[in-house]
Amino acid sequence: MQTELSRRLGVEHAIFGFTPFPAVAAAISRAGGLGVLGAVRYTAPDDLARDLDWMQEHVDGMPYGLDVVMPAKKVEGVTEADVEAMIPEGHRQFVKDTLAKHGVPELAEGEESGWRITGWMEQVARDQLDVAFDYPIKLLANALGSPPADVIERAHAHGVLVAALAGSARHARKHADAGIDIVVAQGYEAGGHTGEIASMVLTPEAVEAVAPLPVLAAGGIGSGEQIAAALALGAQGVWLGSLWLTTTEADLHSPALTRKLLAAGSGDTVRSRALTGKPARQLRTEWTDAWDDPQGPGPLPMPLQGLLVAEAVSRIQKYEVRNLLGTPVGQIVGRMNSERGVQAVFDDLTRGFERAVDRINRIAGRGSQS
């Protein structure tokens, strides 16, 4: 599964694997793809350095990348405390009432509530980049569109390619105009923040909009046949995220959540603002239902919603409250039916790709190429 882009990056397969888990990212790179570590949960630069040190020792010399969350426009002088003060008391009470309704215990006194919205603030991302550019990363991806111009210039000065996610052809053109190197066309089916256009429609539109820039197809891809389809639509690779959540290298810290993912079908996700304030595809739960209920207060805009629910999400995850327990995940969850190692996933993807290519060759009258 090689393309011009995969050869440029020195990877065997044009599979770009996004994951928050260093062990998964390293395994993706070892398997012949390009592992991309999500940095949003690293609010302390030393923690990111620790995990990049670990990856450097475990990728066997293969390339890898980093994904940050950085807005293209900077808001000066706004602190987390400033943002938190904007949260209405009615919304705070709604969170308390919902947790109480489902019997969710409090955290222990003095216990941290886990991930906070600080990972989405620009200065945190810039601190992450100060660390990352000390390592031989090959790709920098930004989940909120094009990063600021000075970041793109800095990445290029280090020989690092820059990718940005796009949910429409218009977004893709804006990224190209900003000087990024790779567009990740993320369809409606994807996990996490996503737009409203399906991958089958979006991929060729993005390819046409930014040619000759390479496009990666994302959203609803979890088989080798789907990879072949993406390449047939003009993509130079695929960007896979949800598929790695049930690998043996992943560390969800929740057996109950893993069981829910393995049991879920492709219709068991929903695009909801419950997690961050922007539409994000995730497992449908009684928590998402509560926030989407028109009789409730409704989610706040980003970043208020993320701050509002941070402690609640930590409590739900810690105590594994099954009917509230969820995670961002795409519609491909319906194919994630067993725990497998990353290499086994790659073996399945490559076999499926070969089957698809052979099928098309037979249709075209060329015979089997295997």
Residue 41 binned pLDDT confidence (cut-offs 50, 70, 90)? confident
pLDDT single digits (tens) 247-281: 999 998 899 999 999 999 999 999 999 998 989 99
Q: What is the pLDDT of residue 45?
A: 92
Q: What is the pLDDT at residue 316?
A: 95
281 sits in which H/E element: strand 280-283
Q: How confident is residue 356, by pLDDT bands cut at 50, 70 and 90?
A: very high
Predicted local distance difference test score (pLDDT) of residue 368: 56
CB-based burial label for 201 (10 Å; 0-12, 13-18, 19+): middle
* pLDDT for 144: 78
Tens digit of each residue's pLDDT (9 = 90 or more) over 120-139: 567 788 999 999 999 999 99
Name all contacts of 42-47 with Cβ < 8 Å and 24+ positions apart.
42/119, 42/128, 43/115, 43/116, 43/118, 43/119, 43/124, 45/127, 45/128, 45/130, 45/131
pLDDT in the model for residue 174: 96
| pLDDT tens, residue by residue, 278-294 | 899 999 999 999 999 99
Q: Among candidates 202, 137, 150, 152, which has minimal Cα distance to 182?
A: 152
Strands (E), 64-196: 64-68, 139-142, 161-166, 182-186, 192-193
- CB-neighbour burial class of residue 110 (10 A; exposed 0-12, middle 13-18, buried 19+): exposed
pLDDT in tens, 184-227: 999 999 999 999 999 999 999 999 999 999 999 999 999 999 99
The predicted model gives 138-146 an average pLDDT of: 91
* Helix, coil or strand: residue 272: strand
Q: How much is the pLDDT for 164?
A: 96
The pLDDT mean for the chain works out to: 93
Predicted confidence at residue 27, as pLDDT, reads: 98
Higher per-residue pLDDT: 159 or 114: 159
Which domains, and CATH codes, for the chain?
4-74+117-250+338-364 (3.20.20.70), 80-115+253-319 (no CATH)
pLDDT of residue 74: 57
Q: Is 32's pLDDT higher than 60?
A: yes
The CA distance from 336 to 350, in Å, is 17
Rounded to whole angstroms, how far apart are CA atoms 80 and 39? 19
The pLDDT of residue 302 is 82
pLDDT at position 83 over 70: yes
At 307, the pLDDT band (50, 70, 90 cuts) reads: confident
